[in-house]
A and B are shown apart, each in its own frame.
Chain A
Amino acid sequence: MSLRLIALCLLLSGLFSAPTLALNSKEIYQLNEQRVFQVRVLNRETGKKSSIGSGFIVGDGSQLATNYHVISQVVLEPELFYISFTGKDGQEGELKLLGLDVAHDLALLGADEPIGEAIEMSPLPPRGAPIFAMGNPLDLGLTIAVGTNGGILNQTDDSRILFSGNLNPGMSGGPTFNERGEAIGINVATARNAISFIVPSRFLNDLIEQSMAAAINDETDLKAEVARQVLAYESNYIEQLLEGDWPSLDLRQVKLPGIISPTVRCWDNSAKLSAIARYKRYQIRCANKNHVYLDGDNKFVGNLIYEYFWLESEDLNALQFYNLYENLNKDQIESKLDRDVVSNFNCQNWFIEVSSQELKSNLCRREYVEYEGMSDVLFTAALTGHSNQGFFITLIMTGVDFKATLPLIQRFLEQVEWKP
């Protein structure tokens, strides 16, 4: 009898302690449909949409959060474009820019008067928990996508949450909710089906706080502000890289820096050779994932790419070998930007002594037209003095302060070790 009583008590206590606040997608949609808007960038001359995204009410009720990439056109051409919002019930109005966090792709916008009740923000739920992304995909109307939390990605410098739902163009800037209808992040990007990314809400809280202290106003030079933020983020990123321990990797007779940061992934990139090739080549390509969206012309900066290339042959004579070696030694930065966006490269070469070997090295830099102080850097170093062994390093960084990259190049070279 007592056992039955205990079992009944346990059952009842279990029923009453269940999470009564868990909402389903329909309830979350209904709770927030008046608080999520379409954010539009409009041409002042034509009055038509140039780009669209989503946004949601935060802060004091007159503020809207969205992605920086949704409204970046206004930064480039503020005299030609302006930002507006439109709600499900036809509510609409113009918005001004209050704050930017370019590194995390966030923007804070402000209306002239309160437009609704702000959405509460919350930290990330446990990995695997259901989360719900709201937004206006492809200008088709407000919708909600259901998925689960895949956790914070360290390869993106902790700035992205993996979301197993489908985000589509137009949903960028919309909120991602937990089961209680609180915003845990902001929709930002998609890679492919059911692999999407969310910006954690803590970065938005920081942006709201910063904007309260010093909001952007009409006097602010927006391009200078964007450049300042990107350079600060990248310089801080390089400092973090320099502070960390760099594990080594071996490529034939050279010991080299390996995965120097959790943000970096390395892949074997060796080309498949034909059976009659009289040489061997091995290639490793490492690249980071924490890119920063700059604007529609430049797309992304913040690339860190380093490639190692080893070439050897027992069959080719020295002249043949060096013909091949020289032909392969022509790595470039892949993005083909126009003269309106970047300057020409300025390059200089050196013969550098590295681990008792001599490397023929080139250092090139180019500058961004619109963003003062921002450069792309290309460094190459090719082994010389061996008749049938060749090796070169290529190191690429985009959207950085040129001088901040030199300590990184120095450490790279210092960690190269030749194994006789």
Chain B
Amino acid sequence: MEALMLEISTRGLHRYQQIDGEVTTIGRALDNDIILSDPTVAPHHLKIIRHSDASIELVNLAEVNPTRVNNQRLQSMLAEKLPLTLEMGRVQAQLIPRDHAVANTRPIAGNGHGKHLFGNSYWTVFLVLACLFFGGMEFFLNSYNTVKWSDLFKYVLRETVLTIGVFVLALSILERLLVNRWEIRQLITAVCLVYLLFDFISMSGHGLNYLFSASWPTTWLHFGWYLTFIPCAIALYLIHISHLKHSRAILLAILIASPIAVPSILQSQQLRTLLDDFSPAARYQNSLSAFNWHLKDSVTIESFVEQAQELAPGEFAD
């Protein structure tokens, strides 16, 4: 007789029960061979009979929420081919042969590799310190009056620590619900990386605006960040760190990114500029840069006046 396993789907890791007797009963009552404590499962829900000729018979015992096999309602049947998908009340399970192949082992990201960002705590500490440093730098670069240490401390606490803390807390709760694990260190590392990258993108966007003498670099970076980078980063994290399946990770990434991306985009100046067909203000290129790198050539006053003659009239809004 072929050895069988019942794979019971649960949040996070699955539960496996060996079926090695001739008759195995499944249900909520304590006299069953396999007990499912879900309230939608009947006291005696399903009976599995392994015949001597290696055939497997399934018999439904439940009147309420009767068993479904491969999405078909079951009275009794002889299983011709495994695996079979079972639904007992809300409980999902699979009947599989014991020698059923399992997926390849997924390596823990950076496990045992000190150089890997997610591999050890030193990187996490380093990235947190880098975030605090750049948070402080942001305050310093936007302070035009004499800087007080207490103000710097308050700013870093409010803007950097709180931002990172809120994201880490929310995402770790989400991760616990999804895969039944806490992975605080990896999450701190990931959130700090995104924080630093956001700072870099913001700064380089301004520089690119000046370089190209245009506003499209910040517009594209803004939309690219929220609509592409953030969902991709979350999906990669869920695939490589949380070890979710690709399709599930992508779906979850979109769901998680939406509450971050949608308000940020809706409130952004960039979206207003794209959507508003009228503005009483002149939207001109006012970026200035200490590095003074620009691709446009300088012109003489006469050339400027000559070119300015061709400046088209403003467009009327509808």
Contact = CB atoms under 8 A, between A and B. Distances in A.
A174 B85 CA distance: 96
B152 to A, nearest CB: 14
B145 A274 contact: yes
A326 B287 contact: yes
A349 interface: yes
A220 interface: no
B14 interface: no
Given A346-B313, A346-B315, A352-B298, A410 B284 contact: no
Nearest to A354: B301
Nearest to A384: B292
A276 B299 contact: no
Interface in A346-366: 346-354, 358, 360-366
A57 B140 CA distance: 70
Interface in B20-68: none
Nearest to B278: A339
A342 B141 CA distance: 39
B143 A320 contact: yes
A360 B279 CA distance: 23
Nearest to A333: B282
Interface string A373-407: 00100101010110100100000000000110011
Given A346-B313, A367-B316, A380 B144 contact: no
Contact of B299 (A324, A353, A367): A353
A37 B316 CA distance: 41
B283 A347 contact: yes
A365 B304 contact: no
The listed residue with most B CB atoms (<10 A of its CB), out of A360, A363, A382, is A360
Given A369-B316, A380-B286, A384-B292, A336 B308 contact: no
B288 A343 contact: no
B314 A366 contact: yes
B305 A406 contact: yes
Given A322-B290, A330-B286, A384-B292, A406 B309 contact: yes
B289 interface: yes
B144 A320 contact: yes
Contacts of B290: 318-319, 321-322, 387
Contacts of B275: none
A201 B309 CA distance: 39
B289 A347 contact: no
A277 interface: yes
Interface string A291-328: 00000000000000000000001001011111111100
Given A343-B313, A369-B316, A332 B282 contact: yes
A414 B282 contact: no
A362 B282 CA distance: 10
B84 to A, nearest CB: 66
Nearest to B213: A349
B300 interface: yes
A276 B146 contact: yes
A279 interface: yes
Interface residues of A, number: 64
B279 A345 contact: yes
B99 interface: no
Contacts of B314: 342-346, 364-367, 375
B281 interface: yes
Contacts of A330: 286
A369 B278 CA distance: 13
Given A363-B308, A367-B313, A410 B301 contact: yes
Given A332-B282, A336-B280, A360 B141 contact: no
Interface string A253-277: 0000000000000000000001011
A278 interface: yes
B101 interface: no
A339 B281 CA distance: 11
23 contacts: A276-B146, A313-B144, A319-B290, A320-B143, A323-B144, A326-B288, A339-B278, A343-B314, A343-B316, A344-B315, A344-B316, A345-B283, A346-B315, A347-B282, A361-B304, A364-B282, A364-B284, A365-B314, A367-B313, A402-B313, A407-B305, A410-B302, A410-B304
Interface of B: 140-146, 206, 213, 277-290, 292, 294, 296-302, 304-305, 307-309, 311-317
Interface of A: 274, 276-279, 313, 316, 318-326, 329-330, 332-333, 335-339, 342-354, 358, 360-367, 369, 375, 378, 380, 382, 384-385, 387, 390, 402-403, 406-407, 409-410, 413-414
Nearest 8 pairs of A and B residues by beta carbon: A343-B314, A318-B290, A362-B284, A345-B282, A339-B278, A366-B314, A347-B284, A364-B282
Given A349-B284, A362-B282, 13 more contacts: A276-B146, A319-B141, A320-B140, A326-B288, A330-B286, A339-B277, A344-B277, A344-B317, A351-B213, A360-B213, A375-B314, A384-B288, A390-B288
